[in-house]
Structure 1
Amino acid sequence: MQPVDAEVDLILPCLNEAAALPWVLTRLPAGVRAVVVDNGSTDGSAEIAARLGALVVPCEARGYGAACHAGLEASTAPVVAFLDADASLDPRQLVRVTAPVLSGQLDLMLGRRRPVSRNVWPWHLRLANAELSRRVRRRTGVQLRDLGPMRAARREALLGLDLLDRRSGYPLETVVKAADAGWRIAEVDVDYLPRSGRSKVTGTPLGAARAVLDMSKVLSA
């Protein structure tokens, strides 16, 4: 059973990740509780997560941002972290992201994805991420090279940012509003692994186009 009084609640947006969840949920660092936000799974993901001791939060509103925010609202730990539930990132490396926030050194830490092999991150997605990161640096002045899905911050402070995006722009809005609020922000390298299944956000050309549009709206707001 995972600790109810954990130092960190790990929010895992989840849509049909039954194959990946056992690996992810059995690799949590000490003091971390999994909060699996079920975004309409039909493959038994919610039941698997509950059986492995996670807090399962249903989220009827579809969208990555909707799931993330539902998890944020349901969390109770002083620090929250976010991670995709598809096994593309190793929860054992989560401490690289959470430790500086827990110690008070940083307000927002992000994991910079470093692919373990060339075929993990398709070139067109890597190029799009590089361009987006360049625009974020120009907009905020924060020297980030990636806007990956692993990140950590204090829960109450995140709620205070009043994040509104409920789709793919949620991580970007987090960085932009945190920078505008004067937060101390940095990134650290984490391994990027072959994911389980196809991405729900960028796994198709249409999904990738929607993600770019969502993020562009955040930057132009």
Structure 2
Amino acid sequence: MISELDRDFSVELSVVMPCLNEAETLAACIRQIKRTFEANHIPGEVIIADNGSTDGSVEIAVREGARVVPVSQRGYGSAIDGGVKSALGEYIIMGDADSSYNFEEIPVLLTQLRKGYELVMGNRFKGGVKKGAMPFLHRYLGNPVLSFFGRLFYNIPIGDFHCGLRGFNRKAYLTWGLKTTGMEFASEMVVKAALKKAHIAEVPVTLSPDGRSRPPHLRTWQDGWRHLQFLLIHSPRWLFAIPGFSLFVFGLILMVLVLPSPIQIGRFGLDVHTLLLGMTMVVAGFQALSLGIVSRIYAIKLGTKQPNNWTNFFTNGRIINTMIFLGAGLVLLGSFGFVYSFIRWEKQSFGGLDPSRMIRVLVPFMLSFLMGFQLIIVSFFISLVNLERINLVQQIVTPEANSSAESTVYS
């Protein structure tokens, strides 16, 4: 990785292209970038982040005057990250080496970077997708749907989450902490930049059919799922909280309806089977909500989320203790129900009991026991995560500050 001390500040822009056997199109891309540099008086460099090419791509890049950065770890994200960390420029523009992007549009992105935007996204749908440039499923299903989820989950007003032609401030990039190695790197960059409150702009760019005779590296379903999985994992609200709350409320409504006695709605008779279904939904919803709270607290620990009123409430020591005692009380209440049922069974000489009546008696106590047990476990786990976060904060404080009587540690 190039440090700030080692950088050549005469280089304003580094164009990084990931490369894995791109001999057919690589030379044309490098020449187009260099012509754009010259025509627009841009002090720049071309970096080829080679991911293990065996078709002569490295030799072509060297011959065309590009700088080759070998990246041993396979994957689109790994190649881009390796190229960026070796770049000399203040700004980075990344693009594919398959001749699908028009590098003459570099000045459009660079202008926005010079204005202070930390991430500038290209939008192929606004700039124009030429015939044959994007498969039908990608154009009308994959990209629109995944971009929609990105906007919904993270409130990011970007129309094309997966455009491969984009620019960013190198210094800002290094603070985003990108981790993924595959194609989902494209989504991670947008999400992490937004979570770090980066200033994001979007400009129209064009997409042309690539110039390769072989199939692209992109795998439609596998990479699409990895993009969606990443978007969900980093959004506890949509992965846990909203589904969990919906299950909890709907299950509770079902339980309230049929707990006193069976009901008839049109042709549908709802009885104890509906009661059991409602209890299952309540438990599942409560577990999902608990995981949503825990994952949000853990994300704060990792630095990918900011604290809010909910997390501050649930990490309060008094609230945690209250939840533990409340959980113990619910477990105790549920245990009384089991004892009552055993007594009823004993009075029947351990014979058969009325299933409908006993299920109606047992289900509320079973629910109390399960939710109480879950509440105790979650409370202790929050304590563990919160304790690690406090210790992490305390480690940041310098020894001199610790020895000062006037120093204050905020946890």
Q: Same fold (TM over 0.5)?
A: yes
| d(CA) in 1 for partners of 2:194, 2:183 | 19
| Residue-by-residue CA offset, 1:5-57 (whole Å, 9 max, x unaligned) | 32111110001111111111111122221100111111100110011111101
CA contact (8 A) 2:44 2:89 kept: no
| d(CA) in 2 for partners of 1:173, 1:75 | 20
- The alpha-carbon deviation at position 118 of structure 1 amounts to 2.6
CA contact (8 A) 2:62 2:68 kept: yes
CA contact (8 A) 2:78 2:181 kept: yes
Matched pairs, number: 214
Q: Which of structures 1 and 2 has the bigger CA Rg?
A: 2
- The alpha-carbon deviation at position 132 of structure 1 amounts to 0.6
| Residue-by-residue CA offset, 1:155-213 (whole Å, 9 max, x unaligned) | 111011010001111111010011111111121111101102245432xxxx1122112
| d(CA) in 2 for partners of 1:167, 1:116 | 24
| d(CA) in 2 for partners of 1:26, 1:168 | 26
Higher strand proportion = 1
Higher helix proportion = 2
After the TM superposition, which parts of structure 1 deviate over 4 Å for at least 4 consecutive aligned residues?
A: none
CA contact (8 A) 2:112 2:201 kept: no
1:91 aligns with 2:103: yes
Q: 1:160 aligns to what? A: 175
1:22 aligns with 2:37: no
| Aligned pairs for 1:9-158 within 5 A | 9-28=14-33, 29-30=36-37, 31-104=43-116, 106-113=117-124, 114-126=127-139, 127-146=141-160, 147-158=162-173
CA spacing shift, 1:214–1:86, aligned 2, 3 Å: same
CA contact (8 A) 1:4 1:33 kept: no
| d(CA) in 1 for partners of 2:11, 2:134 | 33
Question: 5+ residue gaps in structure 2?
Answer: 1-7, 38-42, 234-411
CA spacing shift, 1:5–1:49, aligned 2, 3 Å: farther
TM-score normalised according to structure 1 size: 0.91
CA contact (8 A) 1:168 1:201 kept: no
| d(CA) in 1 for partners of 2:153, 2:11 | 35
Percentage of identical aligned residues: 31
CA contact (8 A) 2:122 2:165 kept: yes
| d(CA) in 2 for partners of 1:180, 1:201 | 29
| d(CA) in 1 for partners of 2:135, 2:231 | 24
TM-score normalised according to structure 2 size: 0.50
| d(CA) in 2 for partners of 1:34, 1:200 | 22
